[in-house]
Structures are given as structure tokens and as C-alpha cells.
Amino acid sequence: MSQTSVVDLLAELVAFDTTSHLTNLPLIDFVADYLASHGVASRRIVDETGEKANLYATIGPAERAGVMLSGHTDVVPVSGQNWSVDPFQLTADGERLYGRGTADMKGFLAVVLAAVPALVEAKLAVPVHLAFSHDEEVGCLGVRTLLDDLAHQPVRPAACLVGEPTSMRLATSHKGKLAVRLHLRGKACHSGMAPEGVNAIHAASHLIGWVENKAREKAAEGPFDERFAIAHTTLQVGTVQGGAALNIVPQNCSFDLEIRNVPEDDAEALLAELMELASSLEKQMRSSHSEAGIHLERLTDYPGLSMDDDHGMVEFILALLGERTRERIGFGTEGGLFQRELGLPTLVCGPGSMAQGHQPDEFVTREQLTRCENFLAGLIAALEDPEARRLVENGFSTAAKA
């Protein structure tokens, strides 16, 4: 696996504008053709619009469960950002390679694709599965059809490695996320007659106050998971919209709430608490105006990821990385869905840093790509070992017997 081939592939991938609101099919076509040129068959799982697709492929003995390398193909928007280079053309400047998605996470995809010839030539005792998804950046939406597809396959992966940017350090956990929008409808009237109206903003303030108080409670009382930089569940209101003019009692107000929960906490239970308060508030509003009300709109949600630090897969990957560090990351991934929906032991490790992800002049370093190349070379060698089959089939337990 040469550095040049990785950079060339990264340039190809970056050139596809796969911002989440756009189609990713041209990139999927490119990957499918690339795999086919190396004799690797792939299949697509197309979404209901026909404009986006996940891609799945297996290299090695297809009748066995293997290790899945997972990454998303979509990127966040560049609108409103001040870029000094073309975000959709890879720009090299010494050690840094600039372009949208270089860190999050087309750098990983490029390294995986560059490893395909070596994977094809290897005598793998355990297969490697490739899973490239869409719409991760807007709530891990696209991967769900892939999960459903895999759940109905006779052979599914035994483990998953998500290549999100962790600076090639192994991450075993991340928080879950639940995002909702609450719509409040009151009754408008002239502000001089305010008692005859139902002020939607005032009503919303009661719910927002609950969020603020609950956030303080979580910070003070937990539950706590000291593995995270912020060791407790966080709640915050990110946007509020409402009102038409100062002299009109506002009829409408909406706000967006985000909950990022530690694995030990239950985001749905917190939302239920809030909606119990909302139900009581709605009754008060309707006592003044029968058409008043509160409506909940779910935006996105995904579960947290939580792997035991002493899990056999953790030890397996750490040995390949040549280090002992275990990270807990502050951003979410599709890993929690693989763990929850398919029961797969799942870890996160990939080139680049999320400090550059989503930023203008996003970049990944050559050193990070090289480290990822070396890691995949080690993974291939490990999966050629006849003992790898027993190890994987036994859930990476070195103590288990064949």
C-alpha cells in the first residue's frame, strides 16, 4: 500500500461533493467500479428516494463472519465557512492535505480502498467486510437500511471498526444523542390586550427553564461516567424561534433541544419527563384557547457506544496499534447502532482529528494516513493467521476453546 495511491484515492473522493443534502451515488459508483476492477463484488442498499445508497462488500471467505470496516460517505456543508482553498479539490501543503471530508472521514475510506489489492491477494482466514454509508452527518440515518439488510443476511459481520477520526487512537465509548423540536401554539392578540391571548414564548420559557434546571441537576448528581471529558449527560436548547412583533402576543414558538447522554443514562426517560410537564402546560394553555397546544417533532437520535476496556477485541486492536491508550470521544458515530442493532462488538479508530472535522480548511496529515495504512497492513496479516478464525468466532476471547 503506497502513500501515493492513498493520496490519489483521497483526491478522487474529495472531488465528489457529498454534502448530506446531495446525492452520494457518483461516489458510490466510483467505489463500486474500483472494487470491481480488483475482482470484488459489492451491493448497494438504495434509499427510498433512489438518490442515495449504502455500499457493502466482502473480501475473503464469504461464508464466514469477519471484521467490518465502516465509514460514511457524506460530509457537512461548507456554506458560511471561509475556506482558503477549494473544499472539493484536494490541496497538498507539506504534511497537510486540505479538503472537505479529509478528516471526517474520506481519509479513512481512501486508506481502506488503497488496501483492497492487498486484501484480495491475502490468504484471509477471516473476511474483511466494507460498509460505506450515507447521511451519517444528519443523524446516522442512512446506515439504518444497511443494518436492516445485514440483519436478514445468512452471514453477518462478527465485529465492526468505525474509522471516524480519532488520531489513530482507539475509542471504546461515546455518548448517545437525542434531538427534538417542540412546537408551541398559543393565541395572538394585540399586546395591549395581552391577557386575552396565549403567549407561546412564555409557555416555551417554562419548558426551557426545565431543561436548564435538569442540566444543572445532571451536572451535580449524575450519573457520572468519568471516562468522558464531560462526565455527565448534557441538555441544551440550541435554537428558539417565535413571535412576529413586539406589540403582538406571539402565537407560535419552537425550540430545539439536544440531549447527549452517557451510556448509563436514559435520554428517552428524560424526554418523557419534559413531555409530562408539557402535557400539564398544554392543559393550562387550552383552558384559555381550545386550539392551543404543544407538538413534539423528533429530529435525530442514536445510541451511545460502550465497550468494556478489557474486551478481547479491544486487546486485539490495541496490539495492532502498538499502544495501550483507550479513548472516550465526545462526538457520536454509527458505532452505537452497530452495537445495539446487530450486537456487534464495535470500536472507533481512524486517521485525522475531529478538531479539523467540520471546520473551514479541513485537513488530514500524511502521517495520520500512513499510520492508518500500517494499521490495516497489520490487520491483514493478523487475519491471515489460521488462529484468527477461532479468535473471531469466539468473540475475540483468547481463553475460549475451538
Interatomic CA distance for residues 300 and 177, integer angstroms: 8
Question: Rounded distance, CA 51 to CA 26, Å?
Answer: 10
Dist. CA 356–CA 350, nearest whole Å: 13
Q: Copy the grid coordinates of residue 317.
A: 486492536
* Residue showing cell 490487520: 379
Catalytic residue chosen out of the listed positions 135, 136, 137, 334: 136
Question: 183 vs 51, 208, 267, 285, CA distance in Å?
Answer: 30, 12, 20, 13
Amino acid in the structure at residue 394 = N
Label residue 122 exposed, middle or buried (CB < 10 Å: 0-12, 13-18, 19+).
Answer: middle
Answer whether 301's CB lies under 8 Å from 139's CB. yes
Which one of the listed residues 74, 137, 164, 362 is annotated catalytic? Answer: 74
Distant-in-sequence, close-in-space partners of 337: CB < 8 Å, separation ≥ 6 = 140, 143, 144, 147, 302, 303
Pick from 3, 12, 15: nearest CA to 100: 15
Residue 74 annotated in active site: yes
Residue 253 β-bridge partners = 184, 242
DSSP state letter for 88:
T
Contacts of 400 (CB under 8 A, 6+ apart): 390, 394
Rg (CA), the chain: 24
Q: Tell whether the torsion through CA atoms of 388, 130, 71 and 259 is positive or negative.
A: negative
- The DSSP annotation for 183-232 comes to EEE-B--BGGGGGGSB-HHHHHHHHHHHHHHHHHHHHHH--B-TTSSS-B
Write out the catalytic residue numbers.
Answer: 74, 136
